Amino acid sequence: MAGFTRKHQDDAHRLSLDDHASAREALNRLHQTAQDCQTKVITSERPYFGDIAHAVAEALPGQWEVSIEHYPDGAIPADVLDWVWEAGPALSTQPAYRTPGAAFLRDGGGTELLLVERPRDGRYLIGALMPSPDHLHVVGAGPRTVSAATAREAAADVRSRLLPEFEQLMHLSRLREVQQDLDWVRGAEPGTVDAVELDAALDRFLTRAPYLLAATRRADIKPLDASETAVLIRFEALLARAPADTDTRSGSEADGMDEALAL
C-alpha cells in the first residue's frame, strides 16, 4: 500500500533508495498507512535477514540456492525444526523466541541448511537438515549447529566445520547401508534371497559406491598403496559397466552385476 515492492513471491517487500524524493514519499505513505491501520512501524539497524542468507550462500563452495520463509505469527513450524539433524541447545530453544522467518540453503546435491536469527542476542544459527529417508537413512548425532555474530563468521564456520562433518556423516551412513546389505547377502542361504530385495540392495550399492570411491581418492586422505589402488580401479571399472536400470539386466550385464556384488 505504501509503495514497497518485491521481485519474488516469497521475498520481502523492498524500497529502493536511489531516488531520495520517491523514497521519502514512500516512507511518509508507510507512516500514514500504519496509522490508518492502527499498527506500528518498528525500524531496526540490523541488516535484512534475507540479505544475510544470500551473503552466507555466496561465501560457500559451489552453487547454493536460497529460499526464505516468512512466519507472520512469529512461530517457526515444529516440522521445520524436526528435520534439523542435530539442533543442539541453540536451535532446540528457538521456539521459545519470536521467529519471523527462516532461510533454507540448498546446494542441489542433497545438502540443505537451515538459517535462523536468534532474537535474544541477534546471533545467526545454521543447522544441517537430515536427508530424506528415501535418499539415505542416517542415524546418530549430526553435524553441530553453527552460531555466529555475522554472515562472514557463519560462512567460515559452515565451510570449516559444518560441511565437513556433514559429508563425513553422510559417507558413514552410506557405508553402513552397504555393509548391512553385504552382510545380509553373505549370510543368506543360497536360493532364499528375494529377487526384488536383492535388486533394491544392489541399487543402493550402485548409488552409494561412487560417493565412497570419490571420498577414498580425496587428496587430504592418506594415499592408497598399490594393491589398494588396484582394487579401487577394479571397483570403478565394474561400476562403469553396471546398467542403471535393473529391468534391462541380462547376459553379460547380469554376469557383471554378479561380479560386482561378489566383490
Look at residue 219 in the predicted model and tell me its pLDDT: 56
Alpha helices in 70-150, H assignment, sequence order: 78-82, 88-92
Distance CA 79, CA 224 (A): 43
Stretches in the chain below the pLDDT threshold 70 = 9-10, 133-135, 219-222, 242-263
Distance CA 113, CA 57 (A): 10
- Residue appearing with cell numbers 540456492: 65
Look at residue 62 in the predicted model and tell me its pLDDT: 92
Environment class of residue 107 by beta-carbon count within 10 Å: exposed (0-12), middle (13-18) or buried (19+)? middle
Distance CA 244, CA 124 (A): 42
Residue 138 has φ and ψ, to the nearest 5°, of -110, 150
Per the CB < 8 A criterion, the answer to whether 118 and 154 are in contact is: no
Environment class of residue 235 by beta-carbon count within 10 Å: exposed (0-12), middle (13-18) or buried (19+)? middle
Look at residue 251 in the predicted model and tell me its pLDDT: 46
Look at residue 64 in the predicted model and tell me its pLDDT: 96
Per the CB < 8 A criterion, the answer to whether 69 and 117 are in contact is: no
Look at residue 162 in the predicted model and tell me its pLDDT: 94
Look at residue 248 in the predicted model and tell me its pLDDT: 47
- Residue appearing with cell numbers 542416517: 138
